[in-house]
Amino acid sequence: MLKSPDIAKQHLIIFTRYPEPGKTKTRLIPTLGAVGAANLQRQMTEHTVFQVKELQKATNISWEVRFAGGNSQLMQDWLGSDLVYHSQSEGDLGSRMARSLSHAFQSGAEQVIIIGTDCPGVNSQILTKAFEKLDTCDLILGPAMDGGYYLMGLCRLIPELFANIDWGTSQVLQQTVDIAVKLQILIAYLPYLADVDLPEDLPIWEQTLKKKVG
């Protein structure tokens, strides 16, 4: 296998969406307005990118941003031209995740972690712990309070983990675990964290901003 010069043994993928008003964080639009919801998406993505950059200072990882909406030029104008960008392309969340993981493994990565930007509790310490756990486990999951997961880590692509999942529901984590158990995959878990998707979740983000200021 030819190893891409841009891919390290440990590789991280951020899934995000270009913050176009009316097309992102739509469940928060009644509370924040279309522009306010897009601004939140912008801030939360920037927060996640900052945490990954902090991790990169201490660990030899490579990473990329997989985006929906917008285009590569808009992403570069927003987050900088020094990052690696790929479109998430078509399909449901599972097929988009599987495609991005497959690309990373085919490029020579040996441990790949994929995260979203909805969970402000994901920090460089959590990410460090996730990569450490991949040394002894096949699958790492960061469970979210809403029944999904905020992080998945693998040492090889396991396509079954992305099929027949009710994406966007409270069943995602349990369905994923059930499949892993059937396949006799060794699972490790990270701490439960909360996503910011609904108006009642906004205090979680406000708390994160206070910590940053503090």
pLDDT, tens digit (0-9, with 9 covering 90-100), for 69-89: 999 999 999 999 999 999 998
Count of C-beta atoms within a 10 Å radius of residue 206: 10
In the chain, domain spans = 10-213
β-bridge partners, 140: 153, 188
Percent of the chain with pLDDT strictly greater than 70: 96
The confidence score (pLDDT) of residue 213 equals 57
108 has pLDDT over 50? yes
The confidence score (pLDDT) of residue 214 equals 54
* Span 110-128, average pLDDT: 96
Write down the CATH superfamily of domain 10-213.
Answer: Spore Coat Polysaccharide Biosynthesis Protein SpsA; Chain A (3.90.550.10)
| pLDDT tens digits, one per residue of 2-61 | 455 579 999 999 999 999 999 999 999 999 999 999 999 999 999 999 999 999 999 999
The confidence score (pLDDT) of residue 1 equals 42
d(CA 89, CA 22): 20
* Span 157-165, average pLDDT: 97
* Span 117-125, average pLDDT: 95
pTM of the model: 0.94
The confidence score (pLDDT) of residue 2 equals 43
| pLDDT tens digits, one per residue of 167-189 | 999 999 999 999 999 999 999 99
Residue 139 near residue 187 (C-beta atoms within 8 A):
yes
Q: Is the dihedral of CA 9, 83, 157, 150 positive or negative?
A: positive
Rg (the chain; Cα; Å): 17
Structure tokens at 50: 């900052």
Question: In 5-147, which ranges are continuous DSSP H helix?
Answer: 29-58, 72-79, 93-106, 124-133
